[in-house]
Amino acid sequence: MQRAAPVLPPDVPRELSKVVLPTYTVEPPDILVVEAIHVVPKSPYLLQTGDLIAINVLGTLPDAPISGAFPIQPGGVVNLGAPYGSVKVTKMTAEEAKTAILTALAIHIKEPVVSVSLVEMAGKQQIAGQHLVGPDGMITLGSYGSVSVVGLTLAQSKEAIEQHLSHELEDPSVGVDIFAYNSKVYYVITEGAGTGDGVTRFPITGNDTVLDAIANINGTTEVSSKKIWVARPVPDSEELAILPVDWRGISALGATSTNYQIFPGDRVFVSEDKRVAFDTNLAKNIAPLERMMGFATLSADTASRLSGKVLQGGGLRGFYGGNGGNIINVSP
């Protein structure tokens, strides 16, 4: 038995009287963008390939100063330029790297004064950027592991990421935002009048209405009727939440009473034209009979033509001829 739809309350959100959707919670397959605001490793930190270190040296050759930021290149070395060459600094603290550089420069200059500090560590690139929320509800931060963010708000996600990074970083601070809202969607379903239904999935923007939903599929089709409604999921309830839509009212007359605001999970259903559906189904049922009748007619016509030729030619011998089986002309 079909369940009756409840009477709609007058405060259902619609055009000109929309509401703000609940605080967004992260779910797969959302994409988060993380900004590394303060990412400093805990001491002692060992330098690694990809790190950027600041090196300043006093007492260098006049035409070959050493000052600025130097990347640690593959092989774990920093290139100090000609004529000093390269120095390996990976797996060293900044102080140890300073000693290694000082030793290398002592070959070329007398009593150099060297300072070394970490500008940016390579691991920052693994934290900053876009991160897909996987099916397990976690985002991956490279060598820093994975963090569960499913069901969390943006503020809670920020706190969870910072808490996770605090095991290896000194008072980390990150910014978190949504790059792609993929988990909160609604559906537009167009009944196909016997040719199969179409289902299109759209992300929720927070401002969508029924008119927006129909516009997203470029309007109704030639098999659509003017009967449209919004089916809204009702958790833990046996009642149906069906919001009937006055399509002519919201499209031609500018009425807003049934141009409902779309919520996550809503189904905007566009019913088929029953006359088109009847014609399509009738054609489907008649088509096999037409094929059978066509085959029977073709078979009867073929048999009639063959039997006429055989009778006129005196049997098969007359039809095929008597000289070596060659076909002869048996036309009157």
Maximum distance among all Cα pairs of the chain, rounded to whole angstroms: 126
Q: Give the C-alpha separation, 133 to 99, whole Å.
A: 44
| Per-residue pLDDT at 237 exceeds 50 | yes
Specify if 165 maps to a domain.
yes
Task: Provide mean pLDDT across the span 219-230.
Answer: 87
Segments forming the whole domain that contains residue 231: 185-272
Specify if 309 maps to a domain.
yes
Give the residue, 225 or 247, on which the prediction is more confident. Answer: 247
Residues 198 and 261 in one domain: yes
Could you tell me which residues come within 8 angstroms of residue 18 by beta carbon, excluding any fewer than 6 positions away? 207, 209, 261
Task: Provide mean pLDDT across the span 74-87.
Answer: 92
Residue 319's pLDDT band, with cuts at 50, 70 and 90, is very low
Residue 327's pLDDT band, with cuts at 50, 70 and 90, is very low
| Per-residue pLDDT at 295 exceeds 90 | no
What is the per-residue pLDDT across 201-213, written as a single tens digit (0 to 9) for each?
Answer: 999 988 999 999 9
CA atoms within 13 A on the CB side of 96: 11
Q: Give the C-alpha separation, 260 to 266, whole Å.
A: 11
Specify if 216 maps to a domain.
yes
**Residues in a beta bridge with 120:** 52
- How many other CB atoms sit within 10 Å of the CB of residue 14? 19
Specify if 2 maps to a domain.
no
Task: Provide mean pLDDT across the span 297-318.
Answer: 62
Q: What is the pLDDT of residue 5?
A: 46
Domain count, the chain: 4
Residues 101 and 60 in one domain: yes
Specify if 11 maps to a domain.
no
Residues 57 and 191 in one domain: no
Task: Provide mean pLDDT across the span 165-169.
Answer: 93
Q: What is the pLDDT of residue 289?
A: 72
CATH of the domain at 80: 3.30.1950.10
Task: Provide mean pLDDT across the span 265-283.
Answer: 79
What is the per-residue pLDDT across 183-195, written as a single tens digit (0 to 9) for each?
Answer: 999 999 998 877 8
What is the per-residue pLDDT across 39-62, written as a single tens digit (0 to 9) for each?
Answer: 888 888 999 999 999 999 999 888
CA atoms within 13 A on the CB side of 233: 10
What is the per-residue pLDDT across 31-44, written as a single tens digit (0 to 9) for each?
Answer: 999 999 998 888 88
Residues 107 and 135 in one domain: no
Residues 38 and 93 in one domain: no
Residues 191 and 253 in one domain: yes
Residue 313's pLDDT band, with cuts at 50, 70 and 90, is low
Specify if 279 maps to a domain.
no
Specify if 12 maps to a domain.
no
Residues 208 and 253 in one domain: yes
- Which of 105, 120, 135 terminates a domain? The answer is 120
Specify if 1 maps to a domain.
no
Q: Using CB atoms within 10 A of its CB, is residue 315 exposed (0-12), middle (13-18) or buried (19+)? A: exposed
Residues 38 and 152 in one domain: yes
Which of 150-154, 257-261, 306-310 is predicted with the least confidence, judged by mean pLDDT? 306-310
Give the residue, 14 or 318, on which the prediction is more confident. Answer: 14
